[in-house]
Amino acid sequence: MGMDLNIFTNKISSDLLSEMKSRFKDFAMEIEFHPDFKLDEHNDTGFCPIKLNLEKGHSSHYDKFGESIMTGFELYFDNYDYIEELNEIKNDSSQSPKTSIFAKLLGLRNKDNIQDHYVANKNIDEKLSVCNKVLTLNWQSANKSELRISLFFGAILAELVDGIIYDPQNDRYLTGEMAIEEFPAEIKEYEEYYSFEDFTLEKFEEWR
């Protein structure tokens, strides 16, 4: 099953890569990007391979594996227009049916009853409104390390560029700081769900 993460930003630069590698170390991870990877929207679309080493003592699964790991995710770049998305939300709201009495009793509401329109909320939209690029990460569940590397990559990038993350699996918008706060516990829960036998990883051999 594939999963996605969107990172909205107005800053994309290869200069970010060294900062990202340094920030990964704060979470006990040593990573290396492919030598040709420059975070360039014209040349780096597709699979982004990453070499990962997790410091011993942070996960029994990684400790038992005992090797450098080949991991990564699919990476896609696109333009983003905040005003266009906001107008789509306004148009959808104007065509929504009125909230029924039954829905009101359940505490439900629809966008017709919201005077101010936001993509997410006021604080998130303040950051979204200056974004003009969206990066999409896509990963699979076969290599269990891909969720770890994808969520940390997204959170760290959003933190460094003051961007916004959208997590479609949980329909939530997060700042980089919020993601840094929430993702580690979610990664831990996901990884500890599997036995070592089911915790599939790929040994790093060489760049390809």
* Cβ pair 126, 82 in contact under 8 A: no
- Which pLDDT score, from 0 to 100, does residue 1 have? 63
Q: Edge-to-edge strands of the sheet including 133-139?
A: 29-33, 46-54, 69-79, 133-139, 3-9, 164-167, 172-175
Start-to-end Cα distance in the chain: 24
List the chain residues with pLDDT less than 50.
97-106, 108-115
- Which pLDDT score, from 0 to 100, does residue 119 have? 96
Give the tokens for residue 57.
């003592």
Using alpha carbons, select from 183, 177, 185, 120 the residue that is nearest to residue 150. 183
Give the tokens for residue 21.
């590698």
127 burial level (CB within 10 Å; 0-12, 13-18, 19+): buried
- Which pLDDT score, from 0 to 100, does residue 92 have? 83
- Which pLDDT score, from 0 to 100, does residue 53 have? 98
Using alpha carbons, select from 49, 55, 50 the residue that is nearest to residue 25. 55
Give the tokens for residue 6.
């969107």
- Which pLDDT score, from 0 to 100, does residue 84 have? 95
27: part of which helix (H) or strand (E)?
none
The identity of residue 70, as a single letter, is M
